[in-house]
Structure 1
Amino acid sequence: MKNGSRAGVSVSGRRGLFLLVVLTAWLAMGATSQGARIKDLAVVKGVRDNQLVGYGLVVGLKGTGDSNRASFTTQGLANMLENLGVHVAKDDLRVKNVAGVMITAKLPAFAKPGQKIDVLLSSLGDARSLQGGNLVATQLKGLDNMIYAMAQGAVVIGGTDEQKHETVGRIPGGATVEKDVPVSWVGRETITLTLNNQDFTTVSRMVRSVDSLLGGPYAVARDGATVDVKVPELFKNNEVSLLAALENLEVEPDSIARVILDERTGTVVMGDNIRLGRMALSHGNLSIKVGGEEASGEQGSLLTIEHGTSLGEVVRALNSIGVTPRDMVSIFQSIKASGALQAELEII
């Protein structure tokens, strides 16, 4: 009995000590790191939303529903009334107060029966507005054609009077989950983390951080976006605690240099470490020089920029002399083509 008792205390003690070490390391890293949490950089394989879809009828509209040209609406209304014990010929129906709608919803991971989820409704026919309507009970199905939720309720149209899009509406909490998507973590040998934005440097840093947290070589990078984490023996049947520690672990992310330019507004989004190499550019009556000596006697506006200047400073300088968004796009494309911009340029 004494030996058995000592063995039991030993295993429990090792487990408690290991968890304490992991927790202490986790808190210490969180206190000193300047990075982002893994939960903000990556997703856990198997934890995902599922798309639901259904067809339904919005009733109670004030003459803004579908016309009889929307045959699916009259057919759907006739079928619904038939199921309720009301026998009516489809051709006798007038559906100006009814609209056929497509209903979509996201079933979150771990959603359980009885929980509420939001739904989005979009008119399928020629209805002018869904304002003031009510959705009749509708089945929402997954890609496997199984029913996962039932939707019903008053339709809400958002936006101001000038911005309303009245053929699309929402029902907050308008669907009740009837069936869950089972996901079990107990007994798993490996947990897989997938980066939202693939990057080999970030993956490498994630592996080092996880190994440091767990105190051994438990993480393996499979590619530039995937890290497999072997579940330590003392976390067996307690994988949720391991996930909690992993997702709050902070990692400093890295990414390629990217410049995003909105042609309509002239808005420029970029990182803070993008710099320009030597170049000279003439655009209309504007001349831009990066590096070298300032030339004299040139026509038009001359913008002289020191070698190694950040792109942000160039943007501010261009804005200060009134460069239009369209000209800004042309200038950036030319700078990129010249090889002076070592970054990915995206025009939206």
Structure 2
Amino acid sequence: MRSGFRTLTRSLAAGLSVLLMAGVATADVRIKDIAGFEGVRENHLIGYGLVVGLSATGDKLNSSPFTRESIKGMLERLGVANLDSSSLKTTNTAAVMVTAKLPPFARRGAPLDVTVSSLGDASSLRGGTLLVTPLSGADGEIYAVAQGAVATSGFSAQGNASSVVEGVPTIAKIENGAIVEREVPFELINMDSMRIALRDPDFTTARRVRDAITEALGDGLATILDSGTVEVAFPGKGRDPEFIPELIADLENLTIRPDSIARVVVDEKSGTIVMGANVRIGQVAITQGGLTVRVNERFNVSQPGPVSVGGSTIVVPGSPISIGGNTVVVPETEIEIEERERQFTILPGDVSLQELVDGLNAIGLGARQTIAILQAIKAAGALHADLEII
């Protein structure tokens, strides 16, 4: 039975290889780049710990009581009993949250990278060491334990009159700072089918994924469940342990041309406009107003001349008031109105993205004006695309 499944796997791999070579010229992306496989995913871990050894940049215990209690609890577990927490005055310790991602199929003893983030009012984690911190998953079980020296990418320097902060010194990394202690129970060999989840759900893309799998494996094995899910059935029972991993490796390298809806994304804060290739515009006539109003304000100062008394001139230094008169501020406003004639630019019906850009450039518009015109075209019902403003 095992040799039979090895033969089936090799036959499927050979057929997929021919399909991949034939589809390179017409396909765009691999399935693995636009979709994920059921169960093959990361899991988020989180924990609470202490970073020690800081150079007076840790939490202020008066304003971070959780740090004080954590230090007391840690010392009591280490044998320092009857400790009065109010006597703690250290500034070399910081309470932190520790996060990590548990990769799929991570085995016990595998290393993980962790991120350490300050929870209190510490000014920097530079030079600190994270003490043993259990990392738990969403189910509350502990899956890894973290510890080690932290490495920050930012720094801070402070003097009596000014301070400089570069980057974020209260966030640090520990490469390979955690060790996996518990494995996520998941076995591919026990699965009779697997679902492929598209990252951008679309019925057209799902059908193309189904068609590519059907062409490679045969009819009846791939089924579209919804716009974001395609289910693939695994043929046979008592299969070789390597059968499913090899089959998934072949499936994820199938290439297809994903479809997408027409969309225009506008970032008003930065003036950035991104248009998809499928954006179409109905026939419209566009003009952009050319009325410019400039208001210039100037302030003139009327200063009276000095007053002579008995042949002498008296001037009061440093004062806007002189003997015999007062200094008067005279405002002066100048208003200029400029009106430039602009002609209509007509965009023909069902124009492409390139034609739309050329038409807007022909009017001589900047990013801000283009955003306003796109909004107006959408309001007129001539923009055949989703307009998303962020």
State the TM bucket, normalised to the shorter chain.
0.7 to 0.9
Within a 5 Å distance, the mapping from 1:102-251 to structure 2 comes to: 102-158=97-153, 163-233=166-236, 236-237=239-240, 238-251=243-256
Structure (1 or 2) with the greater helix fraction: 1
* Structure 1 runs, 4 residues or longer, greater than 6 Å off: none
Please tell me the residue identity of whatever aligns with 1:170.
K
Matched, 1:35 2:15: no
Gaps of 5+ in 2: 157-164, 292-339
Q: Which residue number corresponds to residue 52 of structure 2? A: 59
Alpha-carbon distance between aligned partners in 2 of 1:325 and 1:94, rounded to the nearest angstrom: 56
Tell me, what secondary structure is at the counterpart of 1:170? strand
The structure richer in strand per residue is: 2
CA pair 317-135 structure 1, distance change in 2 beyond 3 A = farther
Q: CA deviation at 1:306?
A: 4.2
What are the residue-to-residue correspondences of 1:194-343 with 2, within 5 Å?
194-233=197-236, 236-237=239-240, 238-285=243-290, 299-300=341-342, 302-315=344-357, 318=360, 323-343=365-385
How far has the Cα of 1:247 moved from its partner? 1.1
Inter-partner Cα distance in structure 2 for 1:197 and 1:165? 33
Letter of the structure 2 residue corresponding to residue 199 of structure 1: D
In terms of mean alpha carbon deviation, does 193-202 or 275-284 score higher?
A: 275-284
Structure with max Cα Rg: 2
Change beyond 3 A, Cα 1:234–1:35: farther
1:20 shift after superposition: 3.6
Paired residue total: 327
CA distance in 2, matches of 1:168, 1:17: 52
Gaps of 5+ in 1: 1-7, 287-297
Structure-2 residue corresponding to 1:5: none
TM-score by length of 2: 0.77
Under a length normalisation based on structure 1, what TM-score does the superposition of the two structures give? 0.86
Amino acid at match of 2:43: N
Q: 1:186 is paired with a residue of what secondary structure?
A: helix
Cα distance between partner residues in 2 of 1:313 and 1:265: 24
- Residue 93 of structure 1 deviates from its aligned partner by 0.8
Residue 86 of structure 1 aligns with which residue?
80
Deviations 1:33-90 (Å, cap 9, x if unpaired)? 2231111121111112111111111111111111121000011011111111123221
Name the CA distance, whole Å, in 2 between partners of 1:17 and 1:80: 59
Which letter does structure 2 place at the counterpart of 1:337? A
Per the TM alignment, residue 106 of structure 1 is displaced from its structure 2 partner at its CA by 0.9
| CA distance in structure 1 between the partners assigned to 2:206 and 2:110 by the alignment | 36
In structure 2, the CA distance between the partners of 1:251 and 1:228, relative to structure 1 (3 Å rule), is same
